[in-house]
Structure 1
Amino acid sequence: MPWLQIKIKTNPDQSEPYEDLLLSAGCAAVTFEDSEDQPIFEPDLGTTPLWKNTTITGLFSAEHDLEETLKYIKQGHEQLFPELPAPSIKAEILEDKDWEREWMDNYHPMQFGERLWVCPSWREPPQADAVNLMLDPGLAFGTGTHPTTALCLEWLDQNISNTNFLIDYGCGSGILGIAGLLLGAKRAIGVDIDPQALQATKDNLARNQLQDDSLHVYMPENTPPEKAEVLVANILAGPLVQLAPTLEALVSPGGKLCLSGLLSPQATEIINTYSEWFDLDPIAEKEGWIRVTGTKHS
């Protein structure tokens, strides 16, 4: 069925009261989005920062009485913020769609580097003789569409041949670890804090007709201490800095490191952190995101 959508432009101080107003008016869901272009890179744990100019959206059934709801919101504003002008409010009917089908129709095979293609599991690979990774991300992060994943896949295409052991730290859908196996790694492990990611990785391993024992998955606290010749971690800058001693310890001398999930302004902190143990390569950049790679000191 279609939905009625009410959008209110506000600020962080007013957002929570407006959320309460929309919920008490009978909306089914409330979302917040940036009204302009003010990125919030990595909020502190336990915090939910909002943008300076925030749009709050309430989703109602199409049969909801719009006129009464707008009157209710106006009265609520006058009680809560009598000294402030009324905010900008926009109402529209949202067409009902099968959003999963919409996403599936628009997710298409993509090439990374010279050899590797990532193909949705419901589509035929465009090159049958290429290295084709069949992927259904499920509820886990990692499809190849994000610049950080693309940067890692392109690097793997050039650097994984004849690798015995690969670690995909923060494996998500398993896309990087499985790509490594298909490109020539003998075995791999995937590590993630999300059990759904570990399950998605196992599902995608089977989808690519790889042996169960070629890639094992672990929660971080259960990660074996064995050192890898290649470690890839597509996470975020904050965790990558905090995890630096852990990740360094998992790479063998002369082994290779590939880090992403990073924005250009975060390069200096990552370089300063990891240069203690690694000879770092020039930074690769795509759409404002970067990849940091290097070789561990012998």
Structure 2
Amino acid sequence: MHYQQAAIAVSARQAEPLSDALMEHGALSTAIEDAHAGTAQEQALFGEPGMPTEQVWQQSIIVALFDAEADIDTILAAAAADAHMAAPAYQLETVPEQDWVRLTQSQFDPIQISERLWITPSWHPMPQAPDIINLQLDPGLAFGTGSHPTTHLCLQWLDQHLHGGENLLDYGCGSGILTIAALKLGAGQASGVDIDPQAIRASRDNAAQNHVDARFYLPDDLPAGQFDVVVANILANPLRMLGDMLAARTRSGGQIVLSGILEEQLSELSDIYAQWFDLNPPLSDNGWVCISGRKK
């Protein structure tokens, strides 16, 4: 048995209504993706406290899955009529039936961050050695499985610079991976913040899976106070806007770690954060950089 998969180019205004209508008319699943993914025009979706959150890409692709016998033209015409639009063009491909769970799991192997720090999905045996620190983390809805260079850079910094007992804030925690890693590496307390309630739920589940007592908050719920270490692995644009807040959350003499920054954005971000921090030489990995420094 096989399936049919249609890739349908739509605008931001059309994406969600047409996606919902396709499900009503027999699509097995739909997903909305960035039409420019993997190019210089790729658009990151984010929001910050007090700012509207972008919900969909301006130019989107709906990827819709249908069974082998489905009449795609008829379904698309009916769905487009429900969405009050003309039936758009689409590209069709055949998708063979597979063991999707096994296929997905095969794409995620254990990741070694340093000599002692590993990230291991739950279906893999944990590395065995006396000094191994293992983060058990499965791919999920929230960002952050440890495979991206920005996450690697932050984990490597934590592995090298946490000495034990620190109070850490992970702003933009995603899956909670950095918060959890900090506690396993000896931090005394660690709190994660994210604008996405799904990320908060996923982070709490991951913390429970790793048997650590981490705290996770939406931005407006984070209690007042300062931290020994503040980590923000997000994107350059929110880092530009959040400088005052992140600096205020870092105690005098405390440290900041910033990632999600492309090499060409390094100079501008360094100039912004040099107002509050004595910066160290940046770390880099595959075109991404990590800035760190100590508060003046």
TM-score exceeds 0.5 = yes
In structure 2, list runs of 5 or more residues that go unmatched: 46-51, 79-85
Letter of the 1:109 partner, please give it.
P
For the residues of structure 2 that align with 1:135 and 1:198, how far apart are their CA atoms? 15
Structure 1 position 60 matched with structure 2 position 88: no
**Per-residue deviation, 1:202:** 2.1
What residue in structure 1 maps to residue 182 of structure 2? Answer: 180
What residue in structure 2 maps to residue 293 of structure 1? Answer: 292
**Per-residue deviation, 1:205:** 2.0
What residue in structure 2 maps to residue 99 of structure 1? Answer: 100
For the residues of structure 2 that align with 1:259 and 1:70, how far apart are their CA atoms? 45
For the residues of structure 2 that align with 1:57 and 1:189, how far apart are their CA atoms? 36
Percent identical: 42
Letter of the 1:222 partner, please give it.
D
For the residues of structure 1 that align with 2:206 and 2:152, how far apart are their CA atoms? 18
RMSD of equivalent CA atoms: 3.5
Output aligned runs, 1:160-199, within 5 Å. Answer: 160-199=162-201
What residue in structure 1 maps to residue 276 of structure 2? Answer: 277
Match of 1:140, SS state, is coil
C-alpha change, 1:34 and 1:96, in structure 2 (3 Å) is farther
148, 151, 154: which one pairs with 1:149?
Answer: 151
Moved more, 95-104 or 165-174: 95-104
**Per-residue deviation, 1:254:** 1.3
In structure 1, list runs of 5 or more residues that go unmatched: 73-79, 81-86
Conserved? CA contact 2:111–2:120, under 8 Å: yes
Letter of the 1:64 partner, please give it.
A
Conserved? CA contact 1:140–1:172, under 8 Å: yes
Letter of the 1:164 partner, please give it.
E
C-alpha change, 1:45 and 1:195, in structure 2 (3 Å) is closer
What residue in structure 2 maps to residue 220 of structure 1? Answer: 219
What residue in structure 2 maps to residue 5 of structure 1? Answer: 5
Q: 1:19-42: CA deviations, max 9, x gaps?
A: 79x959x57236453388333244
For the residues of structure 1 that align with 2:294 and 2:126, how far apart are their CA atoms? 34
What residue in structure 2 maps to residue 203 of structure 1? Answer: 205
Q: TM-score, normalised by structure 1?
A: 0.78
**Per-residue deviation, 1:135:** 1.7
Q: 1:194-244: CA deviations, max 9, x gaps?
A: 22222222222222223x3xx222111121222111111111122222221
For the residues of structure 2 that align with 1:205 and 1:157, how far apart are their CA atoms? 18
